[in-house]
Structure 1
Amino acid sequence: MPPSDPTATTFAARWAALKNIPPFLAMVWQASRTLTLAMIILRLLRALMPVAMLWVGKLIIDQVVGLSSLPGHPETLSGWWDSGLASGLIALVAAELALALTQDILGRLVSYTDSLLQEKLVIDISIRLMDHAGDLDLASFEDPAFQDRLDRARRQTMGRIPLVNQVMQQLQDLVTVGSFAVGLLVYNPWLVLLLAVALIPSLFGEMHFNAQTYALNHRRAPDRRERDYLRMIGASAETAKEVKIFGLSPFLRDRYLTLARRFYLENRAIQRRQLTVMAGLTAMGTLAYYGAFLWIIANALTGDLTLGDLTFLSGSFLRLRGLLEGLLSSFSSMAGQAMYLDDLFEFFTSTPAIASRLDALPVPAPIRRGFRFENVGFRYPGRDDWAIRGMSFDLHAGETVALVGENGAGKTTIVKLLARLYDPDEGRILLDGRDLRDYDLDQLRGAVGVIFQDFVRYAVTASENIAIGRIEERDDRPRIVAAAERSLADQVIAKLPQGYDQMVGKRFSKGLDLSGGEWQKLAIARAYMRDAQLLILDEPTAALDARAEYEVFQRFKELTHGRTALLISHRFSSVRMADRIIVLEKGRVDAQGSHDELLAQNGRYRELFELQAQGYR
């Protein structure tokens, strides 16, 4: 059965889910071999403590009974001491004290080691998840089904960490059960068999309800993401203005409450059934325990068992019953937890469709001829309509080209294809005469610097916000300052109390928020920081006024002289400075040329230019 099957509620499926335990333990081992070994050794030692202490306790009781029945035994403590008869008893008491102290110390060491190991595992899994997510295609992140998988995997990064302690505790209890079982088997094998048979129904009951809970949670992943989204936008600094102005709070609250109530009612239905069924199954175990306890008492009364035997057997049976109940419950819970691990491992099985070939070519440095689109067509995943189709044009090396067109004309799609965030469905894109797919992917993206309109506002320092353009150079302050000066972001940073070291954004207490235009200048500085062979500005100046955008693009034109550049803007006063303008219309090239040439053609460019010009008259 596939791991993503939300109906995985059969016993076979629950048993099959245990296949996730070995790879999970492998992840624990990889997180820290030293701590894992220490945990195993400590728990093995601790596992033998209960039976050892109970056996020593039995010996103490038998010793006391035997000594007290001696004819003419001493009547005082000093008499016992002087006679030397109690030396064996004293040694046994000392041994039990040593065992008790050792057990306490082992408990502390286990807790300490377990805490460190779980923390190391959280770090290790989180890093693996981030690294794997970084390797996946952009198309994956734009797929709602993938978002559900990612959400479930992210939850397992923290949610399954207690499974480490659970598995280790299970192993420890198994060793303890084995040691107690040996003792009980010596007296009467039926005691262990009776106890095990009585507890098996509880195991299947727990497994059944754990599987139902997992299936419910798996099925609710999309609704849970919506619920979390509503909770976030209902109480978020980013949405507070609109929530207040439009009075959205009651709407968001009621929609959240509808989802939350549905979850609550579904959970309650399962828990009610679990309460009824498990109460009956647990009663069976209780009856079995007292049946065995009566056998022990009867044999003690007939003299077949000593008082020490009675103490050892009753204590062993009591501890064994508790351990077996815990093991069965823990095993059932572990099987349920293992189902959730499917979500994590399923995420790690996702592979990118866009990757470097084994014989990938290095990206030419410098680019000599440039890029060519040859009859390129592309549809976004899950869409029937074409974003672009039959697209053909050249982007010559050292040339500054502007793309213009209405929304949906395909401008941003071209940028994504140039950076190989997507591959064409039809046609091909060439770089210096070779298909873009022939080149090393990391080198290609390293040669392209893109600033999108919806750039990210990172809640880090101003310096780090710029350094994101070439993050491996984040300690190169002169390079960061030079990038800021080129984008005019230095004027923004000059106003900040801590300058380049100022935390920006409202997410953290020491952060200062910036205006939209100030954020955009920081973002544009990233393009200069990247110092790439192809620089692209995809409408990153939307929050700037016309004069500020003109200054930015004029500076961009000057600073990219002799370098390949692509800029996208709705303002024709800015794009006219480009060497060549390509006009896009419904995913195709409508016209291309200089500003004056396109105006003279009396086509779509002129129509759009005049429409915009009327707004300034």
Structure 2
Amino acid sequence: MSPPLPQPQLDLRQRFDAIRNIAPFLRGIWATSPSLTLASLGLRLVRALLPVATLYVGKLIIDEAVRLVGLGTVHALLPAWHAGQLDPLLALLGLEFGLAISSDLLGRLAGYADALLSERFTNATSIRLMEHAATLDLEDFEDADLQDRLDRARRQTMGRMNLLGQLFGQAQDAITVLSFAVGLLAYAPWLMALLAVALVPAFIGESHFNALNYSLNFQWTPERRQLEYLRQMGASVETAKEVKIFGLNRFFIERFRALSEKFYEANRRLAGRRALWGTLLGTLGTLGYYVAYAYLAWRTVRGDFSIGDLTFLAGSFRRLRQLLESLLSGFSQVAGQALYLEDLYSFFELQPEITSRPGALPVPTPIRQGFVFENVGFRYEGSEQWALRGLSFELRAGEVLALVGENGAGKTTLVKLLARLYDPDEGRILLDGRDLRDYDLDSLRASIGVIFQDFVRYHLTVAENIGVGRIEALDDRARIERAARKGMADDVVAGLPRGYDQIIGRRFKEGVDLSGGQWQKIAIARAYMREGQVMILDEPTAALDARSEFEVFERFKELSAGRTAVLISHRFSSVRMADRILVLADGKVEASGTHEQLMAQGGRYAELFELQAAGYR
């Protein structure tokens, strides 16, 4: 069963209010390229006057032909040519030909300018979208509603390219309408009123269905994201192995087909209603044209108008009707486009909560005391359960601290708070005795090198994959190679055809894929590239065997000398080398101490250690 058609979410006033988005849109176009904007508008201004000029020249041609026929002196072409009787007619024909060529040339030049301007505007808006998204909080990206807004904003970045041509085309048509209207008003003013009566109902109907179409796309945003997800899952290199092994292709295809059919059915029904009402309301415009045509023909028969006048007026009325229909329909479409622009500009209005305070301090170099968590509590947006609550402990400067605990204990959340990806809902975090929020955010994050368990696999060269750990040093090959050696990734690089210049990952043709363990070594090297005062490894070695993980952590302890370091691992045997181990449970510190002290206490740590050790016996 298909879902019911959407009801308009916005009343008529709100739809017209959405047109306010056109102003920043036009400002953005102007800022993109003033020269291209002026070129497009200038070309359209000249072209807007050509239709009425062409039609009027046509009237003169017909009147001249009728005059020549009435004279009865033109019986043969060549004598009339030599006598100069055809000169005015030929001049008018040449003028009309020139106007036609000029109109076509100006149209192509305007289209060329629009295409360049649209491409530059789309690129500039995409950059602005990425820049603004980079300022938002991590918590924003984990919110499903914001994901929908971001998806709609991203679509509008690419989908509004034709709005530029529409707006400029509307301006051109408006000038042409004025030029035709002047001619009609001089002959029969009431024809303009007839046009308005005939065309306004169609305009209202078009506006109504544009609003319904926007509502349909708005309400189906989650489903559209699901469709995109299913399309990606069913045909991508990342999922190909499991899809083949588990035979999931039919599962994804059928789910995609069922969801896409519902969306198609909703669109089909809306398009059907739009076509029906558009036909009925459009008939009014056609009826108005023929009423006017009959009136003009009657006035011509009566002798009020010449044949050329009839041709000019009938053509003007027909063209004016078409232009007004286009203008009203275009205005309705522009209003509809403005609704979509609301998605884009409302995204730009989102502001992050985690920012640097005015007068924020740089992180001290070196860190002398370390971090202190004082009764810290945090829960994720929309969740009633606390991820951390009443968390208090100290991370001393120069200390290697290990965090252990079962899944959901809050280890990764703690690390995110340390890097100010989140701020606590309760309590506070101190760095060298000052609240973490007193420090400059960029300075804080520049001081921390962290690799999460779900690290990103960049489909770039090896050097770039490592170098992004300190982006300003991306061209420092010596530093990149040093970081690779620290992360034990140099052996991985040695086995690649192009070494550090090898693109890794299968997304691009030249790419070479790596094993999970090799990817992790590249990611660890990225953390060393940072050379921050604080080093954090959050389950970065899950794809490594026990020996390799032990070697990584031994190297980590060795290279962390003089630095504050945090490591998280489920393999308890690997965290024995830490100066101190915190055992987290239910968002709190359950126990703290060295490996020997925790084993002697016989609590959760000792129990879990023995369970793991038994698996190796």
Q: TM-score, normalised by structure 1?
A: 0.96
- For the residues of structure 2 that align with 1:409 and 1:178, how far apart are their CA atoms? 72
Deviation of the 1:199 alpha carbon:
0.7
2:272 maps to a residue whose letter is R
Give deviations 1:216-235, integer Å, cap 9, x for gaps.
11111112211221222122
One-letter amino acid matched to 2:21? N
> Secondary structure of the residue that 1:353 maps to in structure 2?
coil
Following TM superposition, by how much is the alpha carbon of 1:252 offset from its aligned partner in structure 2, in angstroms? 2.0
**Which whole-Å deviations, capped at 9, do the CAs of 1:318-339 have from their partners, x for residues lacking one?**
2111111111211112211211
Q: What RMSD, in angstroms, separates the aligned Cα atoms of the two structures?
A: 1.7
| Structure-1 separation of matches of 2:98 and 2:267 | 48
Q: CA deviation at 1:81?
A: 4.7
Q: 2:140 matched to 1:143? A: no
CA distance in 1 between partners of 2:269 and 2:606 (Å) = 66
How far off its partner does 1:93 sit? 3.0
- Contact residue 580 and residue 592 of structure 1 kept, 8 A: yes
> How many Å apart are 1:564 and its aligned residue?
1.1
CA contact (8 A) 1:576 1:594 kept: yes
One-letter code aligned to 2:558 = E
What is the alpha-carbon distance in structure 1 between the residues aligned to residue 243 and residue 436 of structure 2? 45
In 2, Cα distance between equivalents of 1:332 and 1:136: 34
Say whether 1:120 aligns with 2:120.
Answer: yes
Q: CA deviation at 1:87?
A: 4.2
Query: Residue 217 of structure 2 aligns with which residue?
Result: 217
Counterpart check, 1:578 vs 2:578: yes
- Name the SS of the counterpart of 1:482 in structure 2: helix
Which residue in 2 is equivalent to 1:371? 371
* Aligned 8 A contact 1:404 1:570 in 2: yes
- Taking the aligned partners of 1:422 and 1:248, their CA distance within structure 2 comes to 37
The residue number in structure 2 matching 1:426 is 426
Give a deviation string over 1:496-554, Cα, whole Å, max 9, x none: 11111111111122211100000000000111111111110001000000110111111
Aligned equivalents of 1:273 and 1:101: distance in 2?
41
Q: d(CA) in 2 for partners of 1:104 and 1:472?
A: 51
Match status 1:540 vs 2:540: yes
- The amino acid that maps onto 1:10 is D
Alignment of structure 1 residues 129-208 onto 2, 5 Å = 129-208=129-208
User: What's the counterpart of residue 98 of structure 2?
Assistant: 98
Q: Please give the secondary structure, in 1, of the residue aligned with 2:394.
A: strand
Match of 2:29?
A: 28
Q: How does 1:216-365 map to 2 (within 5 A)?
A: 216-365=216-365
Give 2:18's aligned amino acid. Answer: A
Aligned pairs for 1:560-571 (under 5 A) are: 560-571=560-571
Structure-1 residue corresponding to 2:524: 524
Corresponding residue of 1:490: 490
Distance across 1 between alignment mates of 2:320 and 2:85: 34
> Is residue 44 of structure 1 aligned with residue 40 of structure 2?
no
CA contact (8 A) 2:7 2:212 kept: no
Shift, 1:587, TM fit: 0.9
Partners of 1:40 and 1:102 lie apart in 2 by: 16
Alpha-carbon distance, 1:601 to partner: 2.2
Moved more, 265-274 or 159-168: 265-274
C-alpha distance in 2, partners of 1:43/1:104? 11
User: Equivalents in 2 of 1:258, 1:69: separation in Å?
Assistant: 72
Q: Is the 8 A contact 2:550 2:574 kept in 1?
A: yes
Question: 1:15 — aligned with what?
Answer: 16
Question: Secondary structure of the residue that 2:289 maps to in structure 1?
Answer: helix
What amino acid maps onto 2:24 in structure 1?
Answer: P
1:556 corresponds in structure 2 to 556
- 1:395 aligns to what SS in structure 2? strand
Contact kept, 8 Å, 1:9 with 1:212, in 2: the verdict is no
Superposed displacement of residue 419, structure 1? 0.7
Question: Which string of whole-angstrom CA distances, capped at 9 and with x for unpartnered residues, describes residues 174-226 of structure 1?
Answer: 11111111111111111122112101110011111111111111111112211
Rounded Cα–Cα distance in structure 2 between residues aligned with 1:447 and 1:96: 73
TM-score by length of 2: 0.96
**Structure 1 contact 536–565 (Cα < 8 Å) conserved:** yes
Q: What amino acid is the match of 1:39?
A: S
Taking the aligned partners of 1:267 and 1:224, their CA distance within structure 2 comes to 13
Q: Which residue of 2 aligns with 1:415?
A: 415
User: Aligned-pair distance for 1:598?
Assistant: 1.9
Residue range with higher mean Cα deviation, 312-321 or 596-605? 596-605
The answer to whether the 8 Å contact 1:8/1:14 transfers is: no
In structure 2, C-alpha distance between the alignment counterparts of 1:74 and 1:478, rounded to whole Å: 92
2:68–2:74 CA contact under 8 A, matched in 1:
no
> SS where residue 303 of structure 2 aligns?
coil
Q: Which sections of structure 1, spanning at least 5 residues, go unmatched? A: none
Determine the structure 1 residue equivalent to 2:58. Answer: 57
Question: Which residue number in structure 2 is paired with residue 499 of structure 1?
Answer: 499
Task: Give the conservation status (yes or no) of the 8 Å contact 1:463–1:501.
Answer: yes
In the aligned structure 2, how far is the partner of 1:260 from the partner of 1:590?
50
Deviating more after overlay: 587-596 vs 180-189? 587-596
Q: Distance in 1 between matches of 2:381 and 2:131?
A: 23
CA distance in 2, matches of 1:601, 1:9: 65
**Is residue 6–residue 219 contact of structure 1 (8 Å, CA) maintained in 2?**
no
Note if contact 1:409-1:584 (Cα within 8 Å) is conserved in structure 2. Answer: yes
What fraction of aligned residue pairs are identical, expressed as a percent? 61
CA–CA distance in structure 1, aligned partners of residues 50 and 365 of structure 2: 69
What is the DSSP-based 3-state SS (H/G/I as helix, E as strand, rest coil) of the residue aligned with 1:289? helix
Deviation at 1:361, TM superposition (A): 1.2
Counterparts in 2 of 1:400-411, with a 5 A limit?
400-411=400-411
Whole-angstrom CA distance in 2 between matches of 1:185 and 1:309: 14
* Alpha-carbon distance, 1:77 to partner: 4.6
Shift of 1:75: 4.5
Residue type matched to 1:424 in 2? Answer: P
Deviation of residue 487 (structure 1)?
Answer: 0.7
Contact 1:6–1:218 (8 Å) recurs in 2 = no
The residue type paired with residue 427 of structure 1 is: G
Instruction: Look up the SS of the partner of 2:402 in the other structure.
Output: strand
The CA deviation at 1:80 is 4.1
Give the 3-state SS of the residue equivalent to 1:69 in structure 2.
helix
Summarize deviations over 1:553-593 as a string: whole Å, max 9, x none: 11111112111111111122221111111111211111222
Q: Partner of 2:577: helix, strand, or coil?
A: coil
- Equivalent residue letter for 2:54: M
**Matched length:** 612
Counterparts of 1:348 and 1:568, CA distance in 2: 36
Which whole-Å deviations, capped at 9, do the CAs of 1:265-286 have from their partners, x for residues lacking one? Answer: 2222222222222221111111
Kindly indicate whether the alpha-carbon contact (under 8 Å) linking 2:357 and 2:440 is maintained by their aligned counterparts in 1. yes
SS of the residue 1:269 aligns to = helix
Q: Separation in 2 of the partners of 1:103 and 1:269?
A: 40
| 2:299 partner letter | N
Corresponding residue for residue 613 of structure 1: 613
Amino acid of the structure 2 residue aligned with 1:307: I
